[in-house]
Amino acid sequence: MFERYFSLPRTVDRIRASWLAEPIERYVAWLTDHGYAARTIWRRVPLLVHFGDFTRQQGATALIDLPHHVEDFIEHWVTDQHPCAGNVKGRARLAKEVRNPIQQMLKVVVPGFAGRGRPRQPENPFYAQVPSFFPYLREERGLREASIRHYSDSLRNFAAYLCGVGLSNLHDLSAPVLGGFAMDCKQRGIAWESMRNACGVLRVFVRYLHREGVLTKDLSSAVEAPQTYRLSQIPRSITWDEVRRMLEAVDRRTPVGRRDYAILLLLVTYGLRAREVAELTLDDIDWQNERLQVPKRKAGHSTAYPLSPVVGNAILAYLKQDRPGTEDRHVFFRIFAPQLPLTYSAISGRASHYLHKAGIPVSRPGSHTLRHTCVQRLVDAQFSLKVIGDYVGHRTPRSTEIYAKVDIASLREVACGDGEEIL
């Protein structure tokens, strides 16, 4: 494996002389399998050889000893090998560049090694008092992991609020304490949507506490969320001319551009959610019958679409030229290593990127902007709300009603006339 990347025999001999030669070679094979560039391997292998020399001098004799010497080696490398690293920020950046490949190799060769990373916060901040709440969310309510993370974030905010008011036992919760949570969120500058969601999470949590006997009374009514009004907001759609501008901003001469062009077409043609695009697999595309299957939608059903020639050709161009050779059946992958399937946040981020690049002003740009655009175009074409809801996978017609109130052409007629025809 080393000979594949290093042509000089003495260089290969120097690497094989290291006591970490075999683990390093396993790591190089892992990098190769995950599509890392040769220049990345050229840069990392010498660093790992130096790491092996350092750990041997420090008395390491087995792979299990290596994690204990990572930070010492980084300090040695930054201080002794690069004394002119610059200011504190420059030294921190150099330390990160050294730490990442070492920790990545250790994850490959040392069983159970997790790395330094960010400190993980507990999923359930109230585990000591109600350990079964998150199993309840998963098993009884059937929530997705993305929703579970929202619950975890909101409960951590609630735990911080209780700490601030000096309350540690959930048995002592009262209506005034719960009622003050929304006010505390407002004082900390939390956005309106986040406040509403946090209060919804807290109501579910308080009802569960009452069900489990932690609270003798159901206090969920004391959690007052911000007032909401149905149909108070307008969709975040853009015009079809702006869609063309966005698509023209994609450089389809590059692998990234070809992949992103196919993603954008899926979002705006079928009104798919970012998660639905991220979860598409090769098995969902029936090329022979020109059908696109979208399984496991938010409403719990699946939808089959005719495969548009434009969308199909864009996907085909990406699959033939740029999709990595892998046994994973997902359609869309990262172009650069590690070549893993794109996440839903990455899908939304690509949509936001091209909306900004095309100079299209829209609030909260992302994949849902294109979903709203798809629905608005169907409304303008006079399709019924039931047909539109089925097309984009809405759970109920109420979800589609928001688009019915934005009819720009009719509003222009009203504005230009005297309004008598509508009386």
**Residue 423: per-residue pLDDT:** 46
The pLDDT profile of the chain, 423 residues, written as one tens digit per residue, is: 888 888 888 998 999 999 999 999 999 999 988 888 889 999 999 999 999 999 999 998 899 999 999 999 998 888 876 665 556 777 888 888 899 999 999 999 988 887 765 556 788 999 999 999 999 999 998 888 888 999 999 999 999 999 988 988 999 899 898 888 878 887 777 777 788 888 899 999 999 999 999 999 998 888 877 666 655 566 678 889 999 999 999 999 999 999 999 999 999 999 999 999 999 999 999 999 999 999 878 767 788 999 999 999 999 999 999 998 888 999 999 988 888 899 999 999 999 999 999 999 888 899 999 998 998 888 888 888 888 888 888 877 777 777 665 555 555 566 666 555 544
Indicate which residue of 298, 301, 357, 398 is catalytic. 298
**Residue 117: per-residue pLDDT:** 58
Tell me the pTM. 0.73
Domain residue ranges of the chain, discontinuous segments joined by +: 2-109, 133-222, 240-413
As assigned by CATH, the class of the 240-413 domain is mainly alpha
Sheet of 303-306: strand order equals: 285-286, 291-294, 303-306
Structure tokens belonging to residue 182: 């929304």
Q: Per CATH, which fold does 133-222 belong to?
A: DNA polymerase; domain 1 (1.10.150)
**Residue 397: per-residue pLDDT:** 74
Say whether 240-413 and 133-222 share the same fold.
no
Establish whether 354 is a catalytic residue.
no
Establish whether 207 is a catalytic residue.
no
Establish whether 356 is a catalytic residue.
no
Establish whether 371 is a catalytic residue.
yes
**Residue 382: per-residue pLDDT:** 83
Indicate which residue of 258, 259, 273, 297 is catalytic. 273
**Residue 405: per-residue pLDDT:** 58
Is 260 within 8 Å of 277 (Cβ atoms)? no
**Residue 422: per-residue pLDDT:** 47
Q: Where is 85: in which H helix or E strand?
A: none
Indicate which residue of 323, 368, 372, 377 is catalytic. 368
CA angle 182, 188, 193 (to 5 degrees): 55
Indicate which residue of 258, 275, 350, 371 is catalytic. 371
Q: What sign results for the dihedral spanned by CA atoms 324, 261, 296, 138?
A: positive
| Contacts for 336-339: CB closer than 8 Å, 24+ residues apart | 336/35, 337/31, 337/34, 337/35, 337/36, 337/37, 337/40, 338/34, 338/35, 338/36, 339/34, 339/35
**Residue 106: per-residue pLDDT:** 92
**Residue 411: per-residue pLDDT:** 56
